[in-house]
Chain A
Amino acid sequence: DAMVIQNPRYQVTQFGKPVTLSCSQTLNHNVMYWYQQKSSQAPKLLFHYYDKDFNNEADTPDNFQSRRPNTSFCFLDIRSPGLGDAAMYLCATSKKGSYNEQFFGPGTRLTVL
């Protein structure tokens, strides 16, 4: 089945230690998104790629970076995680012309010690 895959599902890191979260998709969608979701809140968009074009949200901290080496993969890098970065990180994809209908992965739960 076509899907959005996130690895790992659970990630524990130490305060200040860089961490990378991974997302891959078999849907061949040209748009990929990264969201941060904290408890009992809506997902908050960090950035998205429209094909190779990177779109950063104005309020996304510089601590968060992303890479999209090809259509299928997208990475979220947190350069120096703080305690406030502990959250669920969701990857999503959408297809051009689909009214922005988004398909979500299962998420990565990040814990910062």
Chain B
Amino acid sequence: AQSVTQLGSHVSVSEGALVLLRCNYSSSVPPYLFWYVQYPNQGLQLLLKYTTGATLVKGINGFEAEFKKSETSFHLTKPSAHMSDAAEYFCAVSDGGSSNTGKLIFGQGTTLQVKP
């Protein structure tokens, strides 16, 4: 069965500093991985995804993530934090790999605070 662990429920960085949000997964099949962002009182928005191919994936708003199979990780990074990046971030893995069983398994979420 698939599972996702996000290390750190709350991360605080200064504006302009590196953002690093950690995600580790467990999957019995080739994983398909996603990062979503959620702003207050809004739905989830896809930041980026890894399905196949290049292990370093770039997303919206300057975020990127690297799939590391040996470490079962998919950490999210951004070189320079902006105040507008303050939000909740969720890592997710597709349940069932490519068989499309219809579900995503979400991590617990990480709240990113950006200090001026």
Contacts and interface: CB of A to CB of B under 8 A. Distances in A.
Nearest to B9: A40
B64 interface: no
A107 B108 CA distance: 19
B109 A100 contact: no
B43 A100 contact: no
Contact of A45 (B49, B96, B103, B109): B103
Nearest to B44: A104
Size band of the interface chain A makes with B: 20 to 34
Interface string B28-60: 000010101000011111100101000000000
Nearest to A95: B100
Interface in A56-113: 88, 90, 92, 94, 96-107, 109
A21 B73 CA distance: 37
Contacts of B32: 99-100
Nearest to B98: A99
Contacts of A45: 103
Nearest to B111: A40
Which 4 pairs between the two chains have the least Cβ-Cβ distance? A104-B43, A99-B32, A42-B106, A100-B94
Given A43-B106, A100-B103, A100-B104, 10 more contacts: A41-B108, A42-B106, A43-B90, A96-B100, A100-B96, A102-B44, A102-B46, A102-B104, A104-B36, A109-B41
Interface of B: 32, 34, 36, 41-46, 49, 51, 88, 90, 94-98, 100-104, 106-109, 111
